Amino acid sequence: MQVLKDRIQEQGIVIEPNILKVDNFLNHQIDVKLYEQIGKEFAKRYQDQKIDRILTVEAGGIALACFVAQAMEYQPVVYAKKDPSAIISDDVYYANVHSFTKKRDYNIRVDKRFINENDNVLVIDDFLANGEAGLGLAKIVEEAKANVVGFGIVIEKGFQPGRNKLEEHGYRVESLAIIDEFKNGEVVFK
């Protein structure tokens, strides 16, 4: 998605060997027009699929998932909540997720009322790097006996193993910008 790649080149900041800061338009300050374009792009890429529900995880994915629903057919959006506590009730699906950036584990959970058996679920997230959050969301969908239609990722770090892990499970992955490497503080796309 060229408009997104241009934006990353112009305003993204490479702050550590592997960290890209895009807080100017994606995940602290939000450019709502860009979010609309992102929503429409995912709607286009998955237009061949029946989608009953859009799943994401707080906080960065929520608004993105809403604009995907708006560009599709106003499917219900569900966001997994992050819960640092170990207390999990019987009424939720949950998955344990390791965050490499925050160097800790956390649980993500979805109330069982919000995924139905046989639902076709599109998973949306802002980043794909190690694939931990993605696998956690997919585990939740599978436990609900629903189907993962695929993943819609805004920025993929192509040099990290996330895509491989998801594809090994047979999941389709659509990313709008795939980063090949960071070179001298610049972003190189695939």
Closest CA to 104 of 86, 91, 87, 88: 86
Alpha-carbon gap, residue 38 to 3, rounded angstroms: 10
CB of 76 to its own copies, least distance (A): 5
Tell me if 58 contacts its own copies by CB under 8 A. yes
Tell me if 13 contacts its own copies by CB under 8 A. no
Tell me if 187 contacts its own copies by CB under 8 A. no
> How many residues bind its own copies, per CB under 8 A?
29
Please, which residue, 37 or 160, has the CB nearer to its own copies? 37
Please check whether residue 60 is in contact with residue 126, taking contact to mean a CB–CB distance below 8 angstroms. Answer: yes
Tell me if 98 contacts its own copies by CB under 8 A. no
Of these, 42, 46, 67, 171, which contacts its own copies (CB under 8 A)? 67
Tell me if 81 contacts its own copies by CB under 8 A. yes
**Alpha helices by DSSP H, 48-179:** 61-71, 132-143, 162-168
Alpha-carbon gap, residue 106 to 45, rounded angstroms: 31
The CA angle 57-63-66, to the nearest 5 degrees, is 95
Residue 28, number of CB atoms within 10 A of its CB: 10
Tell me if 22 contacts its own copies by CB under 8 A. no
Please, which residue, 24 or 160, has the CB nearer to its own copies? 24
List of residues contacting its own copies (CB under 8 A): 23-24, 28-33, 35-36, 58-59, 62-63, 65-67, 69-70, 74, 76-79, 81, 110-111, 113-114
